[in-house]
Structure 1
Amino acid sequence: MSLGDDPEGSGGYGGTGQTRTRYPEGSGGDVYGGARRGGRSSSRSLVTVVGVVVLLIAAIAFANRGGDDPSSSTEGAGAAGQPKASATAPSGTKPVQSTPGLIPTGYAHNAQGAQSAAANYAVALGSTGLFAKTTRDSILQAIFTPSRVTSLEAALDKAYTPQFNESLGLNKDGSAPTGYTFVSRTTPMGTKVTQTSADDMTVAVWCGGLLGLAGQNSTNPVTSSWFTITMKMEWTGNAWKIVTHSQKEGPSPVPGDDKASSADEMAKAVEEYGGFTYAR
């Protein structure tokens, strides 16, 4: 029902063209809820309002209690796989420390911290920095467990070759040609913990992504995609680090009928709208 169809939302029945007919009490013929019953209706309305207020206060008290209960966490799930009611209750723990231009750090040693780390690491893994050798190595050293960094550097050096960059329309070093804006951005939609222990977590991050070259005559225009990155993480060096990670397509929504923006509009949007730090 739209707002225009709601009698109460439109300020009563005035102007709707409807005529309200009142039948004798007990007739059951009034489709709008029965005839007025004198002074008793106001008393019942007052009781209803008081009842709603009491329930609201009780609900707020219950929610606040959930945040203080150590057994309440984001690690579990309710019936049918739904998150617990206390999943987003405040924990009192600062989830992440952020410095502009750097990958966020300072995650809590719990499921909340692991999810915050995974979301921000997904952003780093989908950034333009991965296409240039220097910035790629810095990203790997920041988010992967030390024992994995050397082998990953070698593996990604073989994947992100000058020829691969040129196939995307980039320069050999991963930079964008003059007059073009390279777009590679990942946006986490949500996270979930699939396996957990004190020092090991497996976190799945559902993401939307943008990739392409914005500019006139670009042969690789910016396109969108949906994917899920699963990270096996461990608590090492007083921080959550990735041990292994994998990626699969979806879940993907039905594409909308939005008109695609021009190359100039896309380039301007990427330059003007910065990203976020994510925290569970």
Structure 2
Amino acid sequence: MSHGDGHGYGSDSGSSRTDDGYSTLGGTRQTRTRFAEGDSDGYSGTRRPARSSRSLVTMVGVVVLLLAAIAFANMGGGTDDDASGAGGSGDSKAGAAPTAATGTKPVTGKNGTIASGFAHNEQGAQSAATNYAVALGSAEMFNATSRQEILQATHDPAVVGRLQTDMDKAYSASLFKNVGLNEDGSTPSGLTFVSRTVPVGTKVVDQSNETATVEVWCTGLVGMAGQGSTKPVTETWFTITEHLKWVANDWKIESSNQKEGPTPVSGGNRASTADEIAGAVEQYGGFTYAR
């Protein structure tokens, strides 16, 4: 997916933090989840009041979704360059409308499972930031081998070494236990671990020929699906700001940060059963995002 201090992917080094270890991580301090009445699995039960306190499950969900950003807090900020057209001519800018696509081919290749070869223009920077946010917020980040591959595919090589060391420390046995995984990061038998970031929209804040700052508004799913789960899948909302650099003919993340929201009011949909959530995760794949 995302983005400093020892707690999160995200704020400037001078930012003050609370003593809550989960504060602002994942971009969401509170998630309201409506539960269906009458069911007894981890996703349902008596409907809770709209103003109920944040649960441990929600706090854990918060830390997972934004954990991908942990190492970036002090790695540098955004660019001071004046916003201008990126390299390449004939750029087609898309508006804020969700269907306002540029029509430019999003990528020319892939790096492992992650899209690569983004266009050297505003559209390419938005596409890169979006696809990188998804990768950094994925369940694959909880596996040491795939985490290394994701970091190398999404980041400027100049920051990968330090970032990888910090991330290996962050993804510890205690974190795995907190999110319901085994101490080695594997998923308990009969359950499905869910960690997905779903982009809602993007905005270019600043851009020059060699750098770009892109905000990606996201919602995320995190938790454990399956019968007997004590950490049901919940949703969070956050905005990731990625400072990109044009490196080796592609956009790469140089640093990132993130913040909570914007968070909409819950629609109050009936919460699905644990098996329904597990089935959806296994059956519905992700996308390559383009602008």
What TM-score comes out, normalization by structure 2 length?
0.66
CA shift, 1:219, in A, is 1.6
Aligned pairs (5 A) from 1:210-225: 210-225=221-236
Cα distance change of structure 1 residues 201 and 137 upon mapping to structure 2, 3 Å threshold: same
Distance across 2 between alignment mates of 1:141 and 1:133: 12
3-state SS of paired residue (1:188): strand
CA shift, 1:100, in A, is 10
Cα distance change of structure 1 residues 119 and 90 upon mapping to structure 2, 3 Å threshold: closer
Runs of 4+ in 1 over 6 A off after TM superposition: none
Q: Cα deviations across residues 206-238 of structure 1 (Å, max 9, x unaligned)?
A: 001000001222121100011111000000011
CA-based RMSD of the aligned residues comes to 2.1
Q: Cα deviations across residues 10-36 of structure 1 (Å, max 9, x unaligned)?
A: xxxxxxxxxxxxxxxxxxxxxxxxxxx
Q: Cα deviations across residues 113-154 of structure 1 (Å, max 9, x unaligned)?
A: 000000000000110011111111110000000010011011
Cα distance change of structure 1 residues 274 and 98 upon mapping to structure 2, 3 Å threshold: farther
The aligned counterpart of 2:271 is 260
Cα distance change of structure 1 residues 272 and 136 upon mapping to structure 2, 3 Å threshold: same
Cα distance change of structure 1 residues 268 and 199 upon mapping to structure 2, 3 Å threshold: same
Any gaps of 5 or more consecutive residues in structure 1?
1-68, 75-82
CA shift, 1:97, in A, is 3.6
The aligned counterpart of 1:88 is 100
Q: What letter matches 1:122 in structure 2? A: A
Would you say the 8 A contact 1:211–1:222 is kept in 2?
A: yes
3-state SS of paired residue (1:185): strand
Aligned pairs (5 A) from 1:19-168: 70=90, 73-74=93-94, 83=95, 88=100, 90-91=102-103, 93-97=104-108, 102-168=113-179
Q: What letter matches 2:184 in structure 1? A: D
**Bigger RCO of structures 1 and 2 (CA < 8 A, at least 6 apart):** 2
Would you say the 8 A contact 1:98–1:277 is kept in 2?
A: no
What TM-score comes out, normalization by structure 1 length?
0.68
Distance across 2 between alignment mates of 1:96 and 1:127: 20
Distance across 2 between alignment mates of 1:265 and 1:163: 28
Cα distance change of structure 1 residues 164 and 230 upon mapping to structure 2, 3 Å threshold: same
Answering whether residue 201 of structure 2 is matched by residue 201 of structure 1, we say no
Q: Which has the higher helix share?
A: 1
Cα distance change of structure 1 residues 143 and 71 upon mapping to structure 2, 3 Å threshold: closer
- Whichever of the two has the greater Rg, that structure is 1
Would you say the 8 A contact 1:96–1:108 is kept in 2?
A: yes
Would you say the 8 A contact 2:202–2:217 is kept in 1?
A: yes
Would you say the 8 A contact 1:189–1:207 is kept in 2?
A: yes
CA shift, 1:84, in A, is 7.8
Q: What letter matches 2:212 in structure 1? A: M
Would you say the 8 A contact 1:145–1:243 is kept in 2?
A: yes
Would you say the 8 A contact 1:162–1:172 is kept in 2?
A: yes
CA shift, 1:70, in A, is 3.7
3-state SS of paired residue (1:243): strand
Cα distance change of structure 1 residues 89 and 176 upon mapping to structure 2, 3 Å threshold: closer
Answering whether residue 175 of structure 2 is matched by residue 175 of structure 1, we say no
Distance across 2 between alignment mates of 1:70 and 1:183: 41
CA shift, 1:106, in A, is 1.4
Q: What letter matches 2:151 in structure 1? A: L
Q: What letter matches 2:93 in structure 1? A: S
Would you say the 8 A contact 2:239–2:261 is kept in 1?
A: yes
CA shift, 1:71, in A, is 7.1
Any gaps of 5 or more consecutive residues in structure 2?
1-88
Greater shift, 258-267 or 210-219, is seen at 210-219
How many residue pairs get aligned? The number is 202
